[in-house]
Amino acid sequence: MMKIVLLSILFPFVLLSQILEKQNKLLWDGTDWEQVVKRVEGNPEMTYRIKSAYLTGILDGRLYYYLKVWGEKQAFADSLYGDRVDYLTPRETVGQLDRFYEDPLMDFVPVVSAMIIVHMQAEQVPKKVIDQYVAQTKYWINQLTLDMQSRGMHELLKEKQEKHSNIKNR
């Protein structure tokens, strides 16, 4: 009886802490990528479907914003979204991302950045360029994480939105 009471008291706190932790998560990274296999109990087909669907969502969002920017300034859109992320098939991309995230030092690299990195590797971009991209990615994601921790995600996104609105209204 005492265990039930204790569990009923602790469970809401554990659940709340997990919810709060996830609220500060802006992007999927290697830790999320690796959790997919566990959540589907190792089912390879379901693992592929979930990972592939996530990658499709990234590509859809990327295309949406490319077209939105392209409508305003075509050359800027082309320069901003110039890196190819369709060099590999979805199955190859999933496999390369699985391999990429085997390195624990890459766990906190967002999937969207890792996707660009594995395509750069497949296209045989020089290692020095890839290493610079990885370093820049780690820097900005660490800065973003620190900003979210110090000011909170809601406040940070509000500031970004206000800044964007001010630039747009000029």
* Statement: residue 137 has pLDDT above 60: yes
% pLDDT > 90, the chain: 46
Answer yes or no: are the C-beta atoms of 120 and 129 closer than 8 Å.
yes
Summarize pLDDT for 76-135 with one digit per residue, the tens: 877 777 667 778 899 999 999 999 999 999 999 999 999 999 999 999 999 999 999 999
Whether pTM > 0.85 for this model: the answer is no
- pLDDT band at 33; cut points 50, 70, 90: very high
First to last CA, the chain: 66
Higher pLDDT, 80 or 72: 72
